Amino acid sequence: MKVIYHCFGGSHSSVTAAAIHLGILPPHSVPDTHQLLSLPYYDKTPGNEYGKIRFVGVSSDGHQVYVLGKENLGDRMNEIFYEIGRLLDLDNEFVAVNTMPSVNIFMMLGGYLSRRLGLARLGRPILVFGTRLAFPRLVEQVKATQINMT
């Protein structure tokens, strides 16, 4: 099965969720700055990558994990994938997860400063703080996704 985690920019919450899913980030300890900034794609996505589904890795149970930045498509992104999947009879072969409900104001502000305005030095500490704060919720989302997949 394929799992697609998606958020506004495809750089922060979706990437963190994908890393939890793949076991790169252990779910029981909140990651430090270095761990987060070392993640593939974390706070590195350029603006022209919106809409591109990027492969992150394969989980221990063989599921392929992807991330996507869907800009302002919101929950509609899930509907779009599932409707297209239904037409193709693929709806049992993938899971799409919107990680935006786990995102807090610090992640939004930090991400905006870093990715949109290019002020990484100013934005990243706020972003990392926000991601650490959101981490337990992201862990819950990933756990729920993994349970749904079994």
88 binds another protein (CB under 8 A): yes
Question: What residues contact residue 86 under an 8 Å CB cut-off, 6+ apart?
Answer: none
Please report, as a single letter, which amino acid is at residue 81: F
Span from 28-36, 63-71, 110-118, 136-144 in contact with another protein (CB under 8 A): 63-71
CA distance 100 to 72: 11
CA distance 17 to 4: 10
The token duo for 76 is 């509609």
* Cα–Cα distances in angstroms (integers) from residue 4 to residues 67, 126, 131, in the given order: 5, 26, 19
Binding map of another protein across residues 11-50, x = CB under 8 A, - = no contact: ---------------------------------------x
Among 81, 98, 132, 139, binds another protein (CB under 8 A): 81
Please provide the distance, in angstroms rounded to a whole number, between the alpha carbons at the two ends of the chain. 10
70 binds another protein (CB under 8 A): yes
Q: Which is nearer to another protein, 80 or 105 (CB)?
A: 80
The token duo for 38 is 């070392």
Among 23, 26, 52, 116, binds another protein (CB under 8 A): 52
Residues that bind another protein (CB under 8 A): 2, 4, 50-53, 66, 68, 70-73, 76-77, 79-81, 83-85, 87-88, 90, 93-94
